[in-house]
Amino acid sequence: MAYLTLKNINKIYPNGYHAVHDFNLEIEKGEFIVFVGPSGCGKSTTLRMIAGLEDISNGDFLINGNRANELGPREREVAMVFQSYALYPQMTVFDNIAFGLTLQGVDEEVIERRVKKTAAILGLTDYLDRLPRALSGGQRQRVAIGRAIIRKVGVFLMDEPLSNLDAKQRVTMRSEIAQIHQETGATTIYVTHDQTEAMTLADRIVVMKDGYVQQIGSPYELYFNPVNVFVAGFIGEPPMNFIRGTVKGGKISFGKNQLDVAAKLGNKAAKYEGKEIVFGFRPEAIELGSQSNAYQVKAVVELTEMLGDNTNIYITADEDKAILKVDPHDTPEVDTDIAFSIPYESVYLFDGETEMVIQ
């Protein structure tokens, strides 16, 4: 039996807004689950329903198979880390971390031991006497995480915990959160709009859009087997390129290049004659020059971005545009012609109407 079960969970706010539709998920003990999607897609609402901070309008939430919809936050044994650290400014780091245990009337010696252990995990040992205002943003966020993990609850819920940090601190804290999870093995549900955070932290990612779950899978599954245009475009940076076109004579146009749909779809291609399809390929999935078992494309270089470890090439082929990611040593001149190949196996075709991947 799964540890946590969300069965057809819906949220309709009092103003009638239907924020979450039929959310289904089973979470095993120890899993790191990330909810990802654009702002407003229902991630926080779902997390808050799991926390018991928001009523579930419809559906069942189970803990170890027992219905928990009506349990309050404390009875659910969850700890939440919010975007704003919400530390007590007049309390030291030690007291902030200890706060939950102090409230519970836990023995002072036990508190001291557990605060020290938590501080050691988080690299806060030298800061226990400080007030929050004398800490950096990253250190404050660690205190907030410490306050949650010291409680030894079943589930950690984190709502965009890194969004108040600068880019560098975010990367550091991200790896620390991964490490803390490895050390504590605690079930974690983490909300972010950042696909890189999702990809690097998650055992499984839940991609959401407009209140609907789009796909649930490991980072590998989402990157290599996206079910629709949205997931394909959301996971990966720079995002997957999409060329929309109507199939004519078995081909779609990418600028003046005529791409044979049957090369990818085989005898299923005939079904799409006269219909719109979306031709998708990742910037990093191309080869410069001509290769076998690949679509051949000619285009013009509009702009190049040398990023050190790679170069992004912005290309145009008439009205169609795409980004290619290449080795920096292969950076072409702007305004020159470029020829590249997209291996058939790296191409994704989507139904233009449903936007679902064509299998």
Pairing relation of β-strands 155-159 and 187-192? parallel
Query: Least separation, in Å, of the C-beta of 169 and ligand ADP?
Result: 22
Query: Least separation, in Å, of the C-beta of 160 and ligand ADP?
Result: 8
Element (H, E) at 337: strand 337-343
- The SS3 of residue 326 is strand
Torsion-angle region of residue 123: left (phi > 0), alpha (psi -120 to 50) or beta?
left
Collect all residues with Cβ–Cβ distance below 8 Å to 103 and sequence separation of at least 6: none
Query: Least separation, in Å, of the C-beta of 202 and ligand ADP?
Result: 16
What does the alpha-carbon distance between residue 201 and residue 32 come to, in Å, rounded to a whole number? 7
Rounded to a whole number of angstroms, the distance between the first and last alpha carbons of the chain is: 32
What does the alpha-carbon distance between residue 149 and residue 157 come to, in Å, rounded to a whole number? 10
The residues binding ligand ADP (CB under 6 A) are 13, 15, 17, 19, 37, 39-45
HSE, CB side, 13 Å, CA atoms: give it for residue 316: 6
Nearer to ligand ADP, 13 or 88 (CB): 13
Nearer to ligand ADP, 45 or 341 (CB): 45
Query: Least separation, in Å, of the C-beta of 41 and ligand ADP?
Result: 4
Nearer to ligand ADP, 40 or 100 (CB): 40
Query: Least separation, in Å, of the C-beta of 19 and ligand ADP?
Result: 4
What does the alpha-carbon distance between residue 99 and residue 87 come to, in Å, rounded to a whole number? 10
Nearer to ligand ADP, 34 or 259 (CB): 34
What does the alpha-carbon distance between residue 84 and residue 244 come to, in Å, rounded to a whole number? 42
Nearer to ligand ADP, 230 or 254 (CB): 230
What does the alpha-carbon distance between residue 145 and residue 339 come to, in Å, rounded to a whole number? 50
Pairing relation of β-strands 320-326 and 337-343? unpaired
Query: Least separation, in Å, of the C-beta of 233 and ligand ADP?
Result: 17
Nearer to ligand ADP, 43 or 325 (CB): 43
Query: Least separation, in Å, of the C-beta of 44 and ligand ADP?
Result: 3
Phi, psi of 230 (to 5 degrees): -60, -50
Peptide bond into 238 cis (omega under 30): yes
Nearer to ligand ADP, 43 or 114 (CB): 43
- Structure-block tokens of residue 155: 């589930």
Contact 138, 173 (CB under 8 A): yes
Nearer to ligand ADP, 17 or 88 (CB): 17
Closest CA to 133 of 94, 91, 100, 84: 91
Query: Least separation, in Å, of the C-beta of 86 and ligand ADP?
Result: 17
- Structure-block tokens of residue 65: 């198979």
Query: Least separation, in Å, of the C-beta of 14 and ligand ADP?
Result: 7
Query: Least separation, in Å, of the C-beta of 224 and ligand ADP?
Result: 25
Nearer to ligand ADP, 13 or 224 (CB): 13
What does the alpha-carbon distance between residue 329 and residue 152 come to, in Å, rounded to a whole number? 51
- Structure-block tokens of residue 200: 């690097």
Nearer to ligand ADP, 41 or 240 (CB): 41
